[in-house]
Amino acid sequence: MKHTTTHRQLFLVLQGGVVIDTPGMRELGIVSADLDKSSSDIEEFAQRCKFSDYRHENESKCAVREAIENGLIDIDRLESYKKLQK
C-alpha cells in the first residue's frame, strides 16, 4: 500500500515571497535569486581580490579568504554562497 497525501498549504512570507508545504516533497530549489542583495558583503570582498576568476579557496591575494581569516565572513556563508551560484 502506498500512502499519498493531497493536502497542500501556501504560506505568505511577510518580507515577500511564499512557502509551499507539499507533503512528500523531498527537495527544494531556487528558481532565481539576487545574490547581490543576500551576499553583498561577500561580493564586496570579492571585488577586492587580485583576479576576478577566483574560487575563493586557496588563491593568493584573495580578499574573501582574508576576510574569513579575520572573522569578517563566516566560512559557512561562503559555502552557501557558492552553492547558490551553481
- DSSP letters, the chain, are --------EEEE-TTS-EEEE-TT------S---HHHHTHHHHHHHTTSSSTT--SSS-TT-HHHHHHHTTSS-HHHHHHHHHHH-
pLDDT of the residue at 3: 55
pTM above 0.75, yes or no: no
pLDDT tens-digit readout, 14-53: 888 888 877 776 666 666 666 666 778 888 888 888 887 7
Domain ranges of the chain: 35-85
pLDDT grade, residue 10 (50/70/90)? confident
